[in-house]
Amino acid sequence: MAKEIVSIGNSGYMDIVYHPYCGGPKIVPFPYEHDEIAIHLYYQDSAGVKHEFPYVRIYNAFPYNDLAHAYNEEVEWKLPISAYDGTIVPWIQGGKYYMTVKLPDNVLTYTINLAAPFMSDAAYYSQRNISRVMGTADCPIPYRIGADYDWWMNVTR
């Protein structure tokens, strides 16, 4: 039997971190609550219809596990999944997957691509980051593990 490359799924996360100045320590505790930050994840199908899909939000406070020690807010997703409209959000090569994020201290709404344009059929993982000085500016994301990146591993069946 010949090997076949298949696309099996996506998982990933996006984190939001605040600093007193760019390059400084993380502000602890995280300065906003979930309901102060508007986050939506979407899949746009080939007909151009947007399907919003669910995700999980957590505050990271390792090793304390309480909000008083939270250093970031994190959004985690996994595909395929059922969208809020009842359709199935697939994981397909070249698909349009993105999130919008509106923070209370920024006039911008971020639109963040969840899938790299160069992906192949794969088990796929992505990480996205927003790093800010509260109320003033976005900080550059340094190139290192933990920065914005995409990773995949081809599989066969």
Q: Print pLDDT tens along the chain (157 aa).
A: 666 555 567 888 899 999 999 989 999 999 999 999 999 999 999 999 999 999 999 999 988 888 899 999 999 999 899 999 999 999 887 789 999 999 999 999 999 988 765 555 556 678 889 999 999 999 987 665 556 666 655 554 4
Q: Which residues pair with 23 in a beta bridge?
A: none
Q: For 68-106, b where at least 16 C-beta lie within 10 A, e where not — what string? A: eebbbbbbebebbbebeeeeebebbeebebbbebebeeb
How many folded domains does the chain comprise? 1
Does any domain span residue 2? no
Domain region containing 18: 11-138
Both structure tokens of 34 = 């979930």
The phi, psi pair for 69, rounded to 5°, reads: -110, 10
69 falls within a domain: yes
Flag whether 60 is in a domain: yes
